[in-house]
Amino acid sequence: MKKINFPLNKTETGVSWLIPGALTLVSTYNSKKEPNIAPKNWIHPAAFSPPLIVYSGPLFATTEKNIIVTKCFTINFVDSSLAEIACNCIRWFGKERIAKSSLNLVEASKINAPLIAECKAHLECTLYNMYIHEHGFVVLGEVVAVSIWDKILHSGPEEQYELLDLTIPRQNGICTLVNKIKPIHGFSETIQIHKKKVEQYLKEKS
């Protein structure tokens, strides 16, 4: 097996392409109980006991600002029917993002953060620890409640993943654990819009 150098500088998604992760929407409240949602797919289990998950976020994001205030957040798993909404929602920010996504937010059972009703599974997390480095936050959350569509829990191991229908972002689209890549209409354009916003932020900051 011949190994060649991986062109790290060619694509910012190079590393995440090697470590694919399930697409989720992280939902939070701010101090005025205004909700926010943001797609995240760099989420990993970090410990079994207590059940910890870890994910990373940029310094400028609303989600992490909210988590600092409320000390909690919900991870909502995104299936293929919701993937387009989840991926493209970053065209907008704050209230507009919530309105354009047309998702229904309901109260979580144990924490001060909303759940997205249309999602089939949710992890309610409290903030266990947060590390700040030059380029962003590393958030360690303790999972204090899990809710899942009853049909998934009551079905066999084969059917469970099919029903959960986890999606994994890929170049310009998503794939599922069972299907081949499914293009997302308008996603490349969304990424360009997003990049411009980030560039603008960095410009204003410097």
Ligand X SMILES: Cc1cc2nc3c(=O)[nH]c(=O)nc-3n(C[C@H](O)[C@H](O)[C@H](O)COP(=O)(O)O)c2cc1C
Q: What residues make contact with ligand X under the rule CB under 6 A?
A: 23, 36, 38-42, 55-58, 61-63, 87, 90, 169
Q: With H, G, I as helix, E, B as strand and everything else as coil, classify residue 34.
A: coil
Which residue lies nearer to ligand X by CB, 155 or 168? 168
Q: Are 4 and 21 in contact (CB under 8 A)?
A: no
Q: How far is the CB of 62 from ligand X (least distance, A)?
A: 4
Q: How far is the CB of 154 from ligand X (least distance, A)?
A: 30
Which residue lies nearer to ligand X by CB, 39 or 141? 39
As a whole number of angstroms, the distance between CA 30 and CA 33 comes to: 5
Amino acid letter for position 26: V
Q: Output the furthest CA–CA distance in the chain (Å, rounded).
A: 56
Q: How far is the CB of 147 from ligand X (least distance, A)?
A: 22
Which residue lies nearer to ligand X by CB, 23 or 111? 23
Q: Are 126 and 73 in contact (CB under 8 A)?
A: no
Q: How far is the CB of 61 from ligand X (least distance, A)?
A: 3
Compute CA distances 39 → 36, 57, 200, whole Å. 11, 11, 20
Q: How far is the CB of 157 from ligand X (least distance, A)?
A: 27
Query: Which two structure tokens, joined as six digits, stand for 116?
Result: 């997205």
Which residue lies nearer to ligand X by CB, 58 or 159? 58
Which residue lies nearer to ligand X by CB, 87 or 164? 87
**Bridge partners, residue 123, by sequence:** 75, 146
